[in-house]
Structure formats: structure tokens, C-alpha cells
Structure 1
Amino acid sequence: MTSFVLFGTFFLFMLLSVPIAISLGLAGLITAIYSPNISITFLAQGFVTSTDNFALMAIPFFILAGEIMGKGGISSRLFNLANIFVGRYTGGFAIAAVITCMFFAAISGSGPATVAAVGGIMIPAMVAEGYDRKFATAVIVTAGSIGIIIPPSIPMVLFGVSSNQSIGDLFLGGIFPGILIGICLMIWCYFYSKKKGYSGTKESFSFKKMLSALNQAKWSLLVPIIILGGIYGGIFTPTEAAVFGVVYAAFVSIFLHKEIKFRKFPKIIADAAISSVSILIIIGTANAFGTILTMEKIPQAVAETFLSISENSIVIILLIILLLLIIGCFIDTSAAVIIFTPILFPVASQVGLDPIHFGIIMIVTLSIGFITPPLGVNLFVGSGISGLSIPTLVRAVVPFFFVMLISLAIIAVIPQLTLLLL
């Protein structure tokens, strides 16, 4: 009965459009009041201690670095460079947009931030080049999902903390899956553009233009190299790398690109703080929710249920993916990682799945939730930029949804893609 109260109140608040963090907290509080075995004081202490974690300090700093880079002229420089290489081919603008999203993903660690930073520049540019607005927006909205797969990734930090796995290993594991998804999206963009007659630019390749674009984008390209190289070179931890990323982003944007003035920094910091606080509140309330799940032995029950259906690892992966696809439609990615990692991780372990491989499968699956209604955060960001209605954008995204599913299937059945660099 306690479990029914917990999940019943949670979904009731969700149906009433109560924010996810508040829904989790209220569900935990009401359940604690209902059950004599759960102490409200214990839940309150768990709320504080769950956020008192050195690794979690990386989250606000990665968010701040992404905010600074997003407003510091990074997106336009990355696109100009990508467009030099692929712009003259069929669908070149769309392919360049995907490449730009992949590069920005290696800076921001966030899907919606990638859509906001790249979409504001790319969607109008693609429309001006003759692309249909629906297709242009769908490209950016979907490619923005790569923001949480190519490292650094905020959900990977949360998964690492929740499952006690190395965040550095998760970052390494996400590189090739993120690249694979980008390649699959580019292939679809090419064939769709060929069908619709979206030809490339008339400009021929020029080494002079390439060197000029490379020179303009060099400071942007160094960000993932410095951050990831520093982590894997043993120079600093992921948290320290996030701090360094903020310092580097501020220096480049103010003194080198000169596109951010000091007077804009309070607004940038405030925006990053709001995003960070919302995630940290989710972490705290989700921890209380998860504590009750553990006390009620829900993870063990889920594991037994899954294993009663089959002990075949492929079948278990399919069940987990199906569950996470549904969850991603309704629950924020950060909250989903914190709530369901303790539930599904034991199941994956019992069928012999590598923990890093499972983590990447989980995060890639939940990334699809960025483009599936009713939550679909990337859809709302893209809609705000393009002016398209959500139903119109959802229809445009459907082919990209299947491309993402194909990519996910490849990642799930070929663990070497994830584990090759470990």
C-alpha cells in the first residue's frame, strides 16, 4: 500500500502539472506521513546529504560554461567551420547543423542548451537557404539530444553518482555512441535533402577559407580537448575540469571573441544558477523518493519481475529500453536517471551487462525523451525559436525518432562501441 501511495501521489501531481521536483518531494512527504515506518526527519536529512557530493559540483559549473559559450559566439564559429567542409554537398547545411550540435554537445553537456545555442543561428540560416522550416527545426531539435551523450554530460554525472561508477569512464563510453548518432542523423539528412532537392552551396572548397574558419573557431575547438584531455591525463577530476571550463569560457568569450561584456555576466550567472538549482532540487527530492523505494524493496521486486519474464540479456535490455522510452515521455531526464538507476541497475547487473554500457544505453534512451511529447523539452525550445506549433514539430520529428531508435539498437547490441576506449 505504501508503494501505491508513493506512485499514486507522484503521478497525480504530475497530471496536475506540478513541477517534477515538487511532485517528487510532495509524494515522498505524503508517503512518510502515511507510513509509520518512514521518518520525515530522515527524508529531510537525505535531501541535504544527497546534494552534498563533490562530484555533483560539476553540474553547475558545466551549466555555467555552456551558458557562457552559448552567448560567446561559439555556435556561429563552429557552424562556419563545419559548413566549409560539407556545405557544398547535398543537404550540406543540415549536415553542418548536426556537426555543430555535436561540437557544442562537447561543451554544454545539455540537450536544451544545445538546441537554444545552435538553433537560434541555424534555423533561420537553413530557412534562408531554402530548407523547409519544419525540417530545419526537426534537425536541430533532434541533434540537440546528443548534448547529453557526447561528454561532458550532466546525466552521466548523475548516473555515476547514483550507481557508484566512474564518471570519467562514462564520459569515455559516450564518445563513440554520440558520434554514431550524429552520423546516422547526417545520413538521413542527406537522403531527405536529395529527395527534396536541397542542394549545397555553390561555393567550391577553399583552403584559404578553411584556414580562416579554423582560425576563428580554434578557441572553441580547444574546449573539449582541454576538458577531456585534462580528465584522462590525470590533471584534474571532472569537477575540477568543469571549473576550468568556466574560467576558459569566460576568458575566450570576453578577451578573445569579445562578444560578452562584463555587464552581461550577472544575467548569465543568474540563468545558470536557475538551471543548476532546479537540477539540484530534483536530486534532493528524487533521493527521498528513491529512499522510500529502497525501503519498500521496489528494486528487488522489479528485478524479480523482469527476470521472471526472461533471463536473456537481450530481452532484458529490450524491456528496459521500452520502459525508459515511456518514462522519457513524462519525466525529466535528470529525475529519471536518479529515480530509475537504483531500480534498473541491479537488473542489468544480474544479467551480466557491463555497468558503463548499461549507463550509456540508459542515457541514450532517455535522450530520445527530449523529442517525444508530452514533456519533450527540446520540442518546446525549438518551437520557441522557429514559431512552429508543437503538433506540427512533432510530426516533423517522427522520421528522426526512428533514426534515433536505430542508433540506440546498434549501441545496445554492440557494446564495443561503448567500451572500446576503456
Structure 2
Amino acid sequence: MEPAIIILLGSFFLLIFLNVPIAFAMGISSVLTSYYLDIQLIMVFQRMISGLRTFTFLAVPFFILVGLIMGNSGISEKIIKFASLFIGRIKGGLAMVNVLASMLFGGISGSSSADVSSIGALLIPLMQEEGYDDDFSVAVTTTSSVQGVIIPPSQNIIYYSLAAGGLSVGRLFIAGYIPGITLGIFLMVLCYILARKRDYPTGETIALKEVPKVVFDSFLGLFTIIIIIGGIVAGVFTATESAAVAVVYVLFLSLFVYKSLTIKDIIKIFNQSIGTLSMIIAIISTSSAFAWLLAYLNIPQLLLNSLLGITENRIILLLLINVILLFLGMIMDMGIIILLITPILLPIVVQLGMNPIQFGIMMMLNLGIGLNTPPVGTSLYIGCAIAGIKIEETLKILVPFYIVMGAVLLLTTFWPEFTLYLPDLIF
């Protein structure tokens, strides 16, 4: 192996092991490698800045704000009520309401963790009170939150667009709908089967006189999705512009219609978003320099040659890439993996004949499953903390949920039309 590759990857993993923040680890390893290769450091810093000099990146802070405002304005409660209108009366209805609410709220928050934190905080205790087992309540809530990372709008899809060299955010957004909705349907079927097997109760029945208010309240919140996706598809907005308009809309909704937030609350949310955004800026800038050096050292081609040394079978190679992504998703933060791994794996899957849009959704789904898998499993940890149980208590019940998510992942990997049909039809 070339010494420069050893310096780049060796110093990076050493710094991670020493608990150095990942943005600093990527920056330091990039500087050390450039110094060894006699590349002027100004080029490294130019790469860092160029990673941020894109109009698409401006969508990130706006989507973060939309998710935070909606998550703190009580919209999740209204969406749960709305979901109950359709499937609340079925056996195990509350579990299916959980899945449907995650599908709807995930399309607003775009975050698996936000989904679990908000909807889980309401529904996990409620499911426990209704007689659902603790492990089942956690499993339903956390696995259904995976829909949030593939159903738009999703910040992680924007990260992928940036890391992939500026792929169409609109196409990526639309490509996530069929896999996301399919996952939701599969999970609801599984919930129904397990509810009958475990004799769980039927869900809440909403009085007829309450229906208009429930529909009106939830529609105002869900209209955010229409603004974002409808604006992009109709060509009215770019992804960045739609996110900015959505921020104005949800601010108006929270302050003057729902009146669920005050100016003081909004200031706190803006302060919270600044902390999140500053971390993201650091990671995106240093990952741009790191990814440039990965390409400069021809690491993607070396990895492809290594994989081809194992097998030349396309199906097995794609399965191996899935395993790599699943493993990384278990141990690292999702956004970091996207920015770090996309420049390495994207050239490989393209050579294997996979469309970059399809690979993006495959990656999101892989990493979403990782959020529900120990040893890190951020979403799983949040769910277990809300339920007051240990992760080990959920592992047995999670098996059928992993099988369902795995089935959707295989469809995404090996059936291109599963992700590409809608964007090709619309665009």
C-alpha cells in the first residue's frame, strides 16, 4: 500500500480512536497527507471552502429549522390523531398508527432521531398503557422511524447530493417515496400479524364530531410537505428555496395559527439550530478535502479491485457493499458516513451499473437500519430510554422487523424501477 494512503487512513483512524472530533480528524489527516505528497496546503483549504460554496448546501440549515420548529410545535400529536382516523380501529391499530404517523412526520422532520424523540415520547408510553409489550412498542417506533431518512424532505439526502457532486435533490427526494411507503406498508402488515398473535387491543376510535378539526389541524402541518415537494416538482422552487419558504410557513403556523410556540421558544430553536449547523459545516468542509485526497490517491479503484479479487459476480459485490454500509451504520453517525463513504463507493457502484440516484436511496436505507442496530443504534437507544428498558430486551422482537427492512433494502438494491420509476416519470 502506498505510504500516502497509510498516512491518510492511518492518521484518521488513530485520531478517531483517540476520541478526536471527526471533523478535526479528517482535517488533520488531510493536512498530514498533503504535506507528505508535497501538495500546497492552500489547495487543501480551497477544497474545504469549495465544499461549502454550493447553493444546495443552503437548504441544510432551512431543513434543520423546519424539523426543529415542527418537532416543538405539537405537530406530531395532530398527525397521530390524523393517522388514527384511518387505521385506529383495527386490531393492533395503535401500532399501525405509530407507523403511519412516522411516515407522515418523517416526511416533515426528515430525521429518524427526531421521529423517535417526538412521536415515540407520545406513543411508546401510550402503547404501554394500552397493554402492548415494552419491547414491541420500542421496535415499532424505532424501525418505522427509518422512513424519515428516505421519505423527503431529508437532510441526509442533501448530504448525499453534495457528496455525490451535486446530484438533483428533487430526483433524490422523489426516489425515496416508493421505498419509504413500501416499508411503511410492510411494517403495518407485520404489526397486524404480531398484534393478532399477541392479542393486542384495537386502537382509538375518534368521535365523528372531532373529525373535521383533526383533519384541518393535521392538514395545515402536512401542507409543509406539499410546499417542499410540490414546489420542487412543479418547478416553482429549487430545493433550497422550498426549504426557505417552508421555514416561513411553519413559523407562521406555530406562532399565529397553532399558537404553540412563543418568540422566546423560536429564539431557543434558532440557537439550537446554530449549534447543529456549525458542526455540520465543519464536517462538510473537512470531508471535501478528505474526499479529494481519496480520489487523488485512487482509493475507490483500489477498493473495487480488492472486491473484484473476491468475486466478479455483480450480485455478490452489491451484497458486500450493503454489508459494508450496514456495518458502518451500526458504529458511526449517519451524516458523517454519507460524506465520507459516498466518494469511495459511488464510483464503484456506477461501474457495476447502478444509477447514482438508486444508490443514494440504498445507502439511506442501509444507514437507517444501522440507526436501529447495536452497538450504537441512536434511534434504538432513544426508544429504549423512553420505554425505560434495556436494548438487550428488544433484540428478539426486532428480528422480524429486520427481515422486513431487509426485504425493502433488497428491492431497492436489485430493482432499479423501485426507486427510479417516479423520478423518471415526473422529471
TM-score tier (shorter): over 0.9
Q: 8 Å contact 1:306–1:347 — kept in the other structure?
A: no
Distance (Å, rounded) in 2 between the aligned partners of 1:370 and 1:340: 17
Q: 8 Å contact 1:77–1:217 — kept in the other structure?
A: yes
What's the secondary structure of 2:371's corresponding residue?
A: helix
C-alpha offsets along residues 93-134 of structure 1, whole Å, 9 cap, x if unaligned?
111011111111111121111111211111111112111222
What's the secondary structure of 1:51's corresponding residue?
A: coil
TM-score (norm 2): 0.93
Map of 2:41 onto structure 1? 40
The Cα of 1:70 is off from its aligned counterpart by 0.6
Map of 2:28 onto structure 1? 26
Query: Would you say 1:253 and 2:241 are equivalent positions?
Result: no
Which of 3, 14, 17 is the matching residue for 2:16?
14
Identity fraction in percent:
38
C-alpha offsets along residues 2-44 of structure 1, whole Å, 9 cap, x if unaligned?
22232223223333443333332333334344x1334433222
Distance (Å, rounded) in 1 between the aligned partners of 2:272 and 2:352: 42
Map of 2:176 onto structure 1? 174
Distance (Å, rounded) in 2 between the aligned partners of 1:233 and 1:158: 23
Point out where structure 2 has 5 or more consecutive residues left out of the alignment: none
Change (3 A) 1:394 1:283: farther
The Cα of 1:380 is off from its aligned counterpart by 2.9
Change (3 A) 1:220 1:44: same
Distance (Å, rounded) in 2 between the aligned partners of 1:79 and 1:13: 44
The Cα of 1:271 is off from its aligned counterpart by 1.5
Query: Would you say 1:376 and 2:377 are equivalent positions?
Result: yes
Q: 8 Å contact 2:102–2:144 — kept in the other structure?
A: yes
What's the secondary structure of 2:146's corresponding residue?
A: helix
What's the secondary structure of 2:176's corresponding residue?
A: helix
C-alpha offsets along residues 145-185 of structure 1, whole Å, 9 cap, x if unaligned?
21110011112112222223211111111111111111121
Distance (Å, rounded) in 2 between the aligned partners of 1:165 and 1:330: 27
Q: 8 Å contact 1:177–1:417 — kept in the other structure?
A: yes
Q: 8 Å contact 1:371–1:401 — kept in the other structure?
A: no
User: Which deviates further from its counterpart, 85-94 or 369-378?
Assistant: 369-378
The Cα of 1:206 is off from its aligned counterpart by 5.5
Map of 2:335 onto structure 1? 334
Question: How do residues 294-305 of structure 1 correspond to structure 2 at under 5 angstroms?
Answer: 294-305=295-306
Which of 191, 202, 225 is the matching residue for 2:193?
191
Distance (Å, rounded) in 2 between the aligned partners of 1:7 and 1:26: 11
Map of 2:364 onto structure 1? 363
The Cα of 1:64 is off from its aligned counterpart by 0.5
Map of 1:244 onto structure 2? 245
User: Which deviates further from its counterpart, 385-394 or 136-145?
Assistant: 385-394
Distance (Å, rounded) in 1 between the aligned partners of 2:32 and 2:63: 34
Query: Would you say 1:397 and 2:417 are equivalent positions?
Result: no
Map of 1:155 onto structure 2? 156
Q: 8 Å contact 1:98–1:182 — kept in the other structure?
A: yes
Q: Which amino acid aligns with 2:51?
A: S
What's the secondary structure of 2:14's corresponding residue?
A: helix
Distance (Å, rounded) in 2 between the aligned partners of 1:246 and 1:347: 37
Q: 8 Å contact 1:379–1:394 — kept in the other structure?
A: no
User: Which deviates further from its counterpart, 153-162 or 49-58?
Assistant: 153-162
Distance (Å, rounded) in 2 between the aligned partners of 1:293 and 1:320: 18
The Cα of 1:87 is off from its aligned counterpart by 1.5
Distance (Å, rounded) in 1 between the aligned partners of 2:222 and 2:190: 26
Distance (Å, rounded) in 2 between the aligned partners of 1:148 and 1:13: 29
Query: Would you say 1:59 and 2:60 are equivalent positions?
Result: yes
Query: Would you say 1:5 and 2:7 are equivalent positions?
Result: yes
C-alpha offsets along residues 206-257 of structure 1, whole Å, 9 cap, x if unaligned?
6544333212211012111121000110111000111111111111111111
Change (3 A) 1:43 1:182: same
Point out where structure 1 has 5 or more consecutive residues left out of the alignment: none
Query: Would you say 1:228 and 2:229 are equivalent positions?
Result: yes
Q: 8 Å contact 1:313–1:353 — kept in the other structure?
A: no
Distance (Å, rounded) in 2 between the aligned partners of 1:279 and 1:105: 20
Distance (Å, rounded) in 2 between the aligned partners of 1:410 and 1:257: 40
Query: Would you say 1:133 and 2:134 are equivalent positions?
Result: yes
> What CA RMSD, in Å, does the superposition of the two structures yield over aligned residues?
1.9
What's the secondary structure of 1:371's corresponding residue?
A: coil
Distance (Å, rounded) in 1 between the aligned partners of 2:399 and 2:6: 34
Q: Which amino acid aligns with 1:56?
A: F
TM-score (norm 1): 0.94
What's the secondary structure of 2:151's corresponding residue?
A: coil
Distance (Å, rounded) in 2 between the aligned partners of 1:137 and 1:276: 29
The Cα of 1:397 is off from its aligned counterpart by 3.4
The Cα of 1:333 is off from its aligned counterpart by 1.4
